[in-house]
Chain A
Amino acid sequence: MGWPRSIVGALQRLNQRGLAERGDLFLSISREYTLQRSVPGERHGYILRSFGANAYRSEAQERKSSIPVEIPVPYQLHKLSEGPPQHTQTTQDELMKYYRDMALIRRMEITADILFKSQQIRGFCHLYDGQEAVAVGLVEALTDDDSIITAYRDHGLYLARGGTLFECFSELMGKRTGCSGGKGGSMHLYNVKKRFYGGWGIVGTSAPLGAGLSFAHKYLNKKSVAVAIYGDGAANQGQIYEAKNLAALWDLPLILLVENNHFGMGTAEWRASKQITFYDRVHYIPGLKIDGMDVFAVREAICYAKEHCMSGKGPIVVECDTYRYHGHSMSDPGSTYRTHDEIKGIRQERDPINHVRKLILKEGFATADDLKSMDKEIRKEVEEAAAKAKEAPQPAKDALFAHIYKNDAALQFHGFVR
């Protein structure tokens, strides 16, 4: 069934060290595992894409089931002569994978809603449903060596980036088995192995920290990018502009991904920003605006953006026009500043999962019943993970003082004993 993972992994590492130019063997291997693309520089794009999640199928399989997909919404470009292609290829396996991943995130968020209302999850809970295409498309276009950092709406990205449902639910419920040991909560999901850097409560934090991630990548000569995700509300923070200046000044390989869901809690974008576009805020950083509800658009745009960064041209902004169905958080009903008709309209016209579902049904890769049973299976999986997390133990008492510092076994606390 294609090349063994160990060899592909070795080739990936070779690639990362910039030895891609060496030898026909390398190129012939990479061609076997890529999809048909028609952009200039596609060879480089092949190498970047080929060692992601799709690398393990044979060429014959690819050619047989590869279908063209249109990306209907045109890209808006800023300081770029040519954008990503308005069409791409996909396969049955990919479509089913995207459907499954997005449906998993959707079902997870709905379950989190129910758990919050039954007080299993406390504090603040910011849900990602509606924005799944951004997470899935982003992760699809990146490799495991790239870094992702986001703000507090991090459940979807945590799952897409390889986190398990059980760890996510455990963290939301404050259990010991959570990804942060139950000490972080909804806004502090991290996964160091998969280079998912969280998970931050203060608006705008992701940009300077993301610049730092990309600075380290450049410093250590790694062929990887950092993606810093923030929202339309955060775009007016001073630290975003500072981070942009630093990244541009030093040509850091940073993709600034703006998840524009048009509301900063209760304030619409036109009430908070003089300029309501976010991809062209800074004239010296190129940007593009895409339809964030189309997983293919996100995938193509991020591939394009990664190529831009890897060729040493510095940072780039990718603005994803997306939408959140829930309110800002579970404490916000989400209906005082927008109408139910608007939310329903977006669900009908632009829902990311429906987009992929329509493609699957049109191409006959699965029937409606198949998808329904997949939905049921996903629901069962999510609910089982939630139930298992509910049964998990709370953190131990001595976890209170653990991890304040590294190597803090000798740290003592003095004072009034209580």
Chain B
Amino acid sequence: MESTALLQKVTAGMAFRGTPASLLSSSSASSHVARIKLGSRSVIRAVSRLSGLTVKATHLNAYGFGTMPHNSTALKTVNKAVAVKTETGSTATAQQGHELLLFEALREGLEEEMERDPTVCVIGEDVGHYGGSYKVTKGMAEKFGDLRLLDTPIAENSFTGMAIGAAMTGLRPIVEGMNMGFLLLAFNQIANNCGMLHYTSGGQFTIPIVIRGPGGVGKQLGAEHSQRLESYFQSVPGLQMVACSTPYNAKGLMKAAIRSENPVILFEHVLLYNLKERIPDEEYVLCLEEAELVRPGQDITILTYSRMRHHVLQAVKTLVSKGYDPEVIDIRSLKPFDLFAIGNSVKKTHKVLIVEECMRTGGIGASLRAAIMENFFDELDAPIGCLSSQDVPTPYAGPLEDLTVVQPPQIVFAVEQLCKH
């Protein structure tokens, strides 16, 4: 009945995706190549001739990953999220568009993609009837049905594996971890099965899966529910990791992640779900590998992501009043890093401060420091500063938890120290 009709829609959708009209509807160059199945350079040149896109196969960053050139004009993609000089820093046009909260923006992105492609489905605990523990999927089970908003038992290892298997055979599942920390139970699935398969099969399989969920240090949630999984997953080859920080980039990154042919981990933050912003009415998809220039400046480059972006912006208010002009970049793409944007910024300011929520040891900041030092050493006038969370399990007591995480006054102090160089 309902499931056979759905199955028919699913198979129809799979046929639909092979037509040329669909080639131009995705955002990243890599997905174009994957759809054509043969990734040869002649094919890439043919595609770029046909579509009018400038796709350079040799455009590689330090991690060897091809990125979308910043001057391309693909249909309906927003490549450079250049900030108007407002504190929130998004590209929302003045008083057009609609205002919503971050979890609603995620839901909008999800709904649009699920309407567009019937193979997109959500798998997770309490995502269907309950509407999601953070209301991201509220109301969607009534609209799309129980099969596409699948309520799972509490068995992360197996349902993540199930999603990976489904992705191998043509579905585009989105796995929701109720809290990112629970996905540690599925670490084997993500590290071994998900990231590696495209490589170990010589390109035969793609795993267009999105793994998403709230992580980060919340408001006294305790040590086990305050994990920052980006530091654990960052060395798994084959995975892409992005972190959203505003409703605007949440929706754009969600759509991009779903359309991507690669496994993408979308890191949301427990404390950012109720951020309000005005986003465009028209459809937009952001580039997964791109960083966002939040505030242009001259004195110092501050690299940040997720919740720390908002702490940085709070510190920037103080810094601006003290006469500093920091450039704030929300790196968004945690794997691979957008070293073009970062490098251009370093060449301008010659000083870098990284503000992150990972722990000091082995976090995103640690890798980013190494990458910047290796690639832009001559541009630096000062050692790279990195403010991270303390290397402790997140304590429950409020004052201790606040000490664990980077606070705006500490960012101000760090900028002042670095700018003395």
Contact = CB atoms under 8 A, between A and B. Distances in A.
Contacts of B400: 174, 182-183, 395, 397, 399-400
Nearest to A204: B154
A122 B392 contact: no
A266 B126 contact: yes
A272 B386 contact: no
Contacts of B395: 182-183, 395, 399-400
A395 B399 CA distance: 8
Given A124-B221, A185-B220, A416 B414 contact: yes
Given A394-B399, A401-B390, A418-B413, A184 B222 contact: yes
Nearest to A264: B154
A203 B154 contact: yes
Given A337-B130, A416-B385, A236 B396 contact: no
Contacts of A271: 129, 151
A306 interface: no
A389 interface: no
B202 interface: no
Contacts of A89: none
Nearest to A205: B224
Interface of B: 125-126, 129-130, 133, 151-155, 157-158, 181-182, 184-185, 218-225, 360, 385-387, 390-393, 395-400, 403-404, 406, 410, 413-414
A175 interface: yes
Contacts of B184: 202
B397 A175 contact: yes
Contacts of B222: 123-124, 184-188, 201
A400 B404 contact: yes
Interface residues of A, number: 46
A116 to B, nearest CB: 11
26 contacts: A122-B398, A123-B218, A124-B221, A174-B396, A183-B393, A183-B400, A184-B222, A185-B220, A185-B221, A185-B396, A187-B225, A201-B225, A202-B181, A203-B154, A204-B185, A237-B155, A237-B185, A266-B129, A395-B397, A395-B399, A395-B400, A397-B403, A399-B397, A415-B360, A416-B414, A418-B387
Interface in A307-332: 331
Interface in A252-269: 264-267
A123 B219 contact: yes
Most buried by B among A124, A188, A267, A418: A418
Interface of A: 122-124, 171, 174-175, 180, 182-188, 200-204, 233-234, 236-239, 264-267, 271-273, 331, 336-337, 394-395, 397, 399-401, 404, 413, 415-416, 418
A122 B360 CA distance: 26
Nearest to B185: A202
Contacts of B414: 416, 418
Ordered nearest first, which 10 A-B pairs have the shortest CB separation? Answer: A185-B396, A266-B130, A201-B224, A174-B397, A236-B153, A122-B220, A123-B220, A272-B153, A182-B397, A183-B395
Contacts of A187: 222, 224-225
A123 B219 CA distance: 6
A265 B130 CA distance: 9
A171 B152 CA distance: 33
Contacts of A233: 153-154
B157 A238 contact: yes
Contacts of B182: 202-203
A183 B397 CA distance: 6
A174 B403 contact: no
A200 B224 contact: yes
A233 B395 CA distance: 27
A237 B154 CA distance: 6
A271 to B, nearest CB: 6
Most buried by B among A123, A239, A273: A123
Contacts of A404: 391-393
Contacts of A180: 396
Contacts of A185: 220-222, 396
A123 B154 contact: no
Contacts of A182: 395-397, 400
Nearest to A175: B397
Contacts of A200: 224
Contact of A265 (B126, B181, B185): B126
B146 to A, nearest CB: 9
A237 B155 CA distance: 5
Contacts of B220: 122-123, 174, 185
Nearest to B152: A272
Contacts of B218: 123
Contacts of A394: 397-399
B178 to A, nearest CB: 8
A166 to B, nearest CB: 16
Contacts of B404: 400
A397 B400 CA distance: 7
B369 to A, nearest CB: 10
B155 A265 contact: no
Contacts of A183: 223, 393, 395-397, 400
Given A183-B396, A202-B224, A418 B410 contact: yes
Contacts of A175: 397
A144 B392 CA distance: 33
A413 B404 CA distance: 13
Nearest to B406: A418
Contacts of A123: 218-222, 225, 396
B32 to A, nearest CB: 39
Contacts of A174: 220, 396-398, 400
Contacts of A399: 395, 397, 400
Given A237-B155, A272-B154, A188 B396 contact: yes
B145 to A, nearest CB: 15
A159 to B, nearest CB: 19
A200 B153 CA distance: 19
B398 to A, nearest CB: 6
Contact of B153 (A186, A201, A264, A336): A264
B397 to A, nearest CB: 4
A237 to B, nearest CB: 6
A180 B181 CA distance: 21
A393 to B, nearest CB: 10
A404 B392 CA distance: 7
A297 B181 CA distance: 37
